Amino acid sequence: MTERPWYRHVWLWIMLVPLIASVIAGFVTLYLAGAPPALVVDDFGKIAMAVELDQQRDRHAAELDLGARLEFGDLPVGSSRTVSISLSGTAPDRLRLELIHPTLEHMDQHVLLKRNADVYTGSVVRADTRLHVLISDEQESWRLTGILAAGQDVLDLKAGP
């Protein structure tokens, strides 16, 4: 009886296949780890123009010497609450209020507030989290920005350089 060569034994390959697969998976992982990050945006011209537009809106608010006081009503956090904004300076008929969550887009809110005498009022759901606040007119020719901390119900905004 002749003995088979080493590469013809089935049990040898049953033991070697997981080892070979793990070596291949290691090289694939090494290749993917060295790849450039996917978060790089390639249209830098549009980004630069958007930043310049935001700075122009901030400068325009400073020229108009705008300021605002944002206040939330006394309902529990997480339910629909009344928001009111007192604006110093020019008084358009409507204001845009944007409450932007730093990481979760589904928590962002965009509300159009109507003027009632000297106060703009509307209704929003106030989450108990940190939010970026952006107030502008309907045409978005100026803007006021600030950060509303978790649990904070009053925020004063002032246009500045």
pLDDT of residue 79: 62
Domains of the chain: 46-158 (2.60.40.10)
Whole-structure pTM value: 0.64
What's the pLDDT band for 13 if we cut at 50, 70, 90?
very high
Average pLDDT score over residue span 69-96:
77
pLDDT of residue 25: 97
Nearest to 144 by CA among 154, 157, 125, 161: 157
Chain centroid to CA 38: how far?
A: 18
Q: What is the pLDDT of residues 85-108, one digit of tens each?
A: 787 877 788 889 999 888 888 888
Distance of alpha carbon 128 from alpha carbon 118, whole angstroms: 28
Question: H-type helices in the chain, by residue range?
Answer: 10-33, 44-63
Q: Is the pLDDT of residue 57 over 80?
A: yes
Q: Is the pLDDT of residue 65 over 60?
A: yes
Q: Which residue has the higher pLDDT, 52 or 23?
A: 23
pLDDT of residue 105: 86
Task: Find which of 11-15, 31-35, 105-109 is predicted with most confidence, using mean pLDDT.
Answer: 11-15
Which H or E run contains 123? strand 119-125
